[in-house]
Amino acid sequence: GEVLEALPAIRRWLVRSARSRSRREGHTPIPLGHIRALLHLAQYGPMSMGELARGLGVSCSTATECVAGLEARGRVVKQRPLSDRRQVVVSLTPEAQEVASQVLAQRQGVVERVLRQLPPRERRAFVRGLALLAEDVEAGMDGVAALDSDMPARVERSYGA
C-alpha cells in the first residue's frame, strides 16, 4: 500500500538530489549508475573494483565500465597498491568527494527533518522497520552479500533508534 507507493517518489528524490547538485556544480549530467558509484565511494572510501561491484550489487564488468566512465570525467582515480599489483583500488578525486559529501549531507538533513516530526518511539520503530527492509532486500539480491553487514545497526544509531 502506502509504503510501496512512497518508494518510487523516494527513489526519484534520491536521483534528482544527486543530479541537480552535479548540474549546479557545472558538470554534465551523468548516468544513474555513475551517481550510485560516486555516492558509494563517498560513504565507504577507496575500495577495490570487486568491493565496489559487490557494494553496488553489480557485476565486476559493470563496475569496471562505470569506473572507466567516471575516470574519463575526472571524478575517480585508480591505483594499484604496491602490496598487490593485480588489484585496482578506486577513489574519488577531491572535487568529486566534495560534491558527493554535499549530496549526502543534503539527504541527511532532509531525513533528519522528517524524522524529527515523529515522536521518539515512532521514530525508533520507523528506523528499525526501514533497517529491516534494507537488510532483507540486501540479503535477497541474487545472493550478493551486503558490503556493510552492520548497516541496520548503523542506521539505527544514526537516527536515534
CB count, 10 Å around CB of 71? 14
Tens of pLDDT, residue by residue over 43-55, are 999 999 999 999 9
State the pTM of this model.
0.71
> How far apart are the C-alpha atoms of 25 and 38, rounded to whole Å?
15
pLDDT > 60? residue 90: yes
pLDDT bin (cut points 50, 70, 90) of residue 156 is: low
Name, of 17-26, 64-73, 127-136, 151-160, the range with top average pLDDT.
64-73
pLDDT > 50? residue 146: no
CB 67 within 8 A of CB 37: yes
Tens of pLDDT, residue by residue over 133-144, are 888 887 776 454
- Quick one: pLDDT at residue 32? 84
Helix (H, G, I), strand (E, B) or coil at 92: strand
- What is each CA distance from 52 to 20, 140, 159, in whole angstroms? 24, 18, 26
Cell numbers linked to 121: 518511539
- Quick one: pLDDT at residue 145? 45
Tens of pLDDT, residue by residue over 24-67, are 666 667 788 898 999 999 999 999 999 999 999 899 999 999 99
CB-based contacts of 55-61 (< 8 A; 24+ apart in sequence):
55/147, 55/148, 57/141, 57/142, 57/144, 58/33
Distance between the two ends of the chain, CA-based, in angstroms? 25
